[in-house]
Structures are given as structure tokens and as C-alpha cells.
Amino acid sequence: MTDRIGEDLRFFQTAINLRQQRQEVLASNIANADTPNYKARDFDFRSALQNAMGESMRLADTQLSLTSSRHIPAKAVTPDPAELLYRLPRQPSLDGNTVEMDVERVQFADNTVKYQTDLTIISQRIKGLMAALQQ
């Protein structure tokens, strides 16, 4: 039973982590709105969530321990499920910056609302589990 609860909460935990990552990307776009030649970035949340949930056997990042000074250091890093893409501007600017503040603000607000919704859903699920355990 704890596996089903953990799997259900893992979905929402993954969604929240991706929402937080997207929030940072969008905030970076907004912060660089006046930087010449800055290219706005974003990622497709749906495909990133599918990639993250599809990696149920995802291994943690590892680093080899060196036993000799002649060994080559190595590190294995799991690829990020969210592939950053460049956003195509609707109205390109003369300085090469592709950040459109209206688009970024709408995406930022939309992502914030969905982040809060995910938190509310998790909170309600936990409250429901607590109520079931108390009976």
C-alpha cells in the first residue's frame, strides 16, 4: 500500500520540481529582457513530465573514486528530463533579444497558478491520508 501512496505522491513531486525549474527559466528570461542578443528559453512541460515519469529506474549521479594518480576522473550524470528550447519571437527586436515581456509574464503567471494547484492537490491528498489513518 505504501508503494501506491509513494507512486501517487511521486507524480506530484516530479510535477512540482519541473514547475519550479520552469519558473527559474522564465524568471531568467524576464531578468534578461534588456540584454542584447539574449535568447529566451523554455521547455515543453508535458513532454518533460512524461520523460521524468518514464525514468522509474533512474539512477543517481555517480562519481568514480580514484585509487591511483594515473586514473582518469569520471562522473556519470543522468540527463535532465526537461530539454531547454529556444523560444521563437513573434516580434523580433533590433538588438537580437527574443524576450517578449507580455509572453513571459503570461507564462510566468500560468506556471505559478499551476504550481500552487499542484501544492494544493498534494496537501489535500495528505490530509485525506491522515484522516484515513486516524479512523
Angle of helix 101-134 versus helix 2-31 axis, rounded to 10: 160
Q: Are 45 and 25 in contact (CB under 8 A)?
A: no
DSSP 77: -
The pLDDT value given to residue 80: 64
- Residues of the chain with pLDDT below 70 are 1-2, 55-61, 76-81
The pLDDT value given to residue 57: 44
The pLDDT value given to residue 61: 67
Reported as a single tens digit per residue, the pLDDT across 96-131 is: 999 999 999 999 999 999 999 999 999 999 999 889
Residue 11: closest CA among 57, 45, 50 = 50
